[in-house]
């Protein structure tokens, strides 16, 4: 979908799922066949290549605005940032300066910066500098919440209603487009019915599609990880010899 020029509103948002799927098809293959070291080089290279692609694609394809935003080479740095952080997580957590930044009371400025920078219109400064900084700010913010999960923000995210929304987040992502169409005059696209419909369809999708699919996945994983059973060894009794 991220290469489809004329996507309808209903499925247009699936461009991000397409990018995610493309990355996670490539990433395990790199780790399995090239090793973690070369995979790390790819992830780091993606951080540098993607901003260049965001500049080059509009020049090479001037009539394709869609491609500027969503072609894989131009947005692969969003997920690559998280991969790099995961790889170097232990080193970062052992780095005093990094941990001091995470503990600082001024850390809240980092997610605020990401939010404000994301409101700027698309331009060269945004594509080359602001987007990588936004990716970095979001990744580090997630890392901080994971480490300091007992902080006020961590406790908020662990509240049952908030966690439940997180459980439904994938289903919400899939179904929201049907009911959040500003161009539609349908009742199901009007507030508050649109949010009610999003919630209802997301719960149903999670209960009837996602949970059964996860159960099948868990069953397959258990079969794959289960060690092969060896046939039982029978030991014949030793007959004593008469003196």
Per-residue model confidence (pLDDT) at position 54 = 87
**What single-letter DSSP state applies at residue 182?**
T
Per-residue model confidence (pLDDT) at position 126 = 81
Provide, rounded to the nearest whole percent, the portion of the chain with pLDDT above 70.
90
Query: Averaged over 156-174, what is the pLDDT?
Result: 93
pLDDT digits (tens, 9 = 90+) for 104-123: 989 999 999 999 988 887 77
Q: Which residue reads 């999960």 in tokens?
A: 149
Per-residue model confidence (pLDDT) at position 67 = 52
Of 154-163, 170-179, 232-241, the one with minimum mean pLDDT is: 232-241
Residue 180 phi/psi, 5-degree rounding, is -110, 40
Of 36-40, 130-134, 161-165, 226-230, the one with minimum mean pLDDT is: 226-230
pLDDT digits (tens, 9 = 90+) for 176-223: 999 998 888 898 999 999 999 999 999 999 999 999 999 999 999 888
Q: Is the pLDDT of residue 170 over 90?
A: yes
Q: Is the pLDDT of residue 241 over 90?
A: no
pTM of the model: 0.78
Per-residue model confidence (pLDDT) at position 228 = 63
Q: Is the pLDDT of residue 17 over 60?
A: yes
Who's near 17: CB < 8 A, 6+ residues apart? 1, 173
Query: Averaged over 84-99, what is the pLDDT?
Result: 94
Per-residue model confidence (pLDDT) at position 147 = 93
Query: Averaged over 147-156, what is the pLDDT?
Result: 89
Contact 50, 75 (CB under 8 A): yes
Who's near 13: CB < 8 A, 6+ residues apart? 173, 176, 177
Query: Averaged over 33-62, what is the pLDDT?
Result: 89
Provide, rounded to the nearest whole percent, the portion of the chain with pLDDT above 90.
61
Q: What is the mean pLDDT of the chain?
A: 87
Of 54-58, 59-63, 167-171, the one with minimum mean pLDDT is: 59-63
Q: Is the pLDDT of residue 243 over 50?
A: no
Structure tokens at 29: 């293959």
CA–CA separation, 239 vs 243, rounded Å? 13
């Amino acid at each position: 979908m991220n290469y489809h020029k004329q996507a309808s509103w209903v499925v247009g948002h699936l461009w991000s799922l397409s990018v995610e799927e493309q990355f996670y098809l490539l990433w395990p293959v790199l780790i399995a066949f090239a090793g973690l070291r070369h995979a790390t080089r790819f992830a780091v290279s993606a951080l540098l290549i993607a901003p260049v692609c965001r500049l080059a694609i509009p020049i090479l394809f001037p009539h394709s605005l869609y491609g500027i935003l969503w072609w894989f080479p131009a947005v692969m740095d969003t997920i690559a940032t998280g991969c790099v952080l995961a790889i170097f997580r232990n080193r970062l957590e052992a780095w005093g300066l990094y941990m001091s930044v995470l503990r600082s009371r001024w850390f809240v400025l980092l997610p605020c910066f990401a939010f404000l920078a994301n409101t700027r219109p698309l331009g060269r400064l945004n594509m080359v500098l602001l987007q990588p900084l936004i990716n970095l700010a979001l990744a580090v913010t997630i890392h901080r919440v994971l480490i300091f999960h007992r902080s006020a923000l961590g406790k908020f995210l662990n509240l049952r209603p908030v966690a439940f929304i997180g459980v439904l987040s994938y289903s919400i992502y899939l179904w929201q487009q049907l009911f959040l169409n500003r161009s539609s005059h349908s009742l199901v696209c009007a507030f508050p019915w649109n949010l009610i419909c999003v919630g209802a369809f997301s719960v149903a999708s999670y209960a009837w599609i996602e949970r059964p699919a996860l159960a099948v996945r868990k069953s397959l994983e258990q079969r794959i990880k289960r060690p092969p059973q060896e046939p039982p060894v029978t030991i014949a009794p030793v007959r004593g010899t008469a003196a």
